[in-house]
Amino acid sequence: MKLTIFLLFTLCIFTFISRRFGRDPDLFEKRASGLYTTFMLYVIGTPIGNLQDMSPRAVEALKKANTILMESPQDSLRLLSIFHIPKKGVIKYNDANAKGVLPKIREVLQIEDVALITSAGMPGVSDPGFHVVKAARELGIEVQVIPGPSAVTSAIALCGMPIYDFSFVAFLPRTEGKLKKLFQEYKEREQAMIFFESPFRIQKSMKLLETTFPEISVFLAKELTKKFESSVYGTPKEINMWLSEKKEHTKGEFVGIVGFHLKS
């Protein structure tokens, strides 16, 4: 009887250690020396439109996590339901509340496994996720990334431009003066510029680009990976003509690439 209890206890301990430390053969020694704690922060990419882009690793990590940091719980809880991920602790974390909620997140990181996701795409891209990763490293928490879809890299693959060096500027400035200055800066750099833009400002931004650099090459895509995905390549004038053709062309979130690196 005692032997049976001992064997069951040993099996439980072995299972726990394998689950926690099995991914890295040196991880047990690292944690034993104090380099890492027993908990994990998973930084997880989620679909930017097509649910079939959700990876098995992402689902597995979300199931393992005890608490999930979400940009928008309304969006992400729906995603968890679709993939039959059990209910977890939820902390809303986005640009609006990042500073105020970070102390609570630091506490949670020290007592359980945590997952970080955004409403779409990779955390940390035009997103305050880097604060959480920094906090985890400061606390000795191991951080593991589960890569997923990205509008930025998808646009690069789709544009047909030779891109070996680029800058991502997130959403374009709202004021004409700042936007014109940004265009001029990248023209002088001769560097590809990748940006996000809303459907409410895309035409205004592209019209300013047309008046400033009318011969530049531009790639514009909307609703990437979704049912009504579409894209266009041409001069700013041709882009503006396309945007004006149909009302549907100005709906959805945009990602664009301006070929300031290309020779005219």
Q: Are residues 135 and 187 in the same domain?
A: no
Q: Are residues 75 and 97 in the same domain?
A: yes
What does the alpha-carbon distance between residue 62 and residue 105 come to, in Å, rounded to a whole number? 17
Q: Are residues 114 and 162 in the same domain?
A: no
* 18 found inside a domain: no
pLDDT tens-digit series, residues 176-228: 999 999 999 999 999 999 999 999 999 999 999 999 999 999 999 999 999 99
What is the span of the domain harbouring residue 243?
151-258
Q: Are residues 38 and 134 in the same domain?
A: yes
Q: Are residues 233 and 197 in the same domain?
A: yes
Q: Are residues 169 and 188 in the same domain?
A: yes
Q: Which residues contact 70 (CB under 8 A, 6 or more apart)?
A: 76, 77, 90, 91, 92, 93, 117, 118, 119
pLDDT tens-digit series, residues 12-25: 554 444 444 334 44
Which CATH number fits the domain that encloses residue 199?
Answer: 3.30.950.10
pTM (predicted TM-score): 0.81
Residue 70 CA: distances (Å) to CA of 5, 49, 109, 116, 136: 42, 17, 15, 7, 16
Q: Are residues 167 and 183 in the same domain?
A: yes
Domain termination site, one of 146, 174, 204: 146
User: What domain count does the chain have?
Assistant: 2
Q: Are residues 101 and 199 in the same domain?
A: no
- For 214, the token pair is 């009318």
Q: At what angle do helices 202-212 and 176-189 cross, to 10 degrees?
A: 50
Residues in the chain: 264
* 73 found inside a domain: yes
Alpha-helical (H) ranges within 71-221 are: 73-82, 98-109, 129-138, 151-159, 176-189, 202-212
Domain termination site, one of 82, 113, 146: 146
Domain termination site, one of 125, 146, 167: 146
pLDDT tens-digit series, residues 138-182: 999 999 999 999 999 999 999 999 999 999 999 999 999 999 999
pLDDT tens-digit series, residues 60-108: 999 999 999 999 999 999 999 999 999 999 999 999 999 999 999 999 9
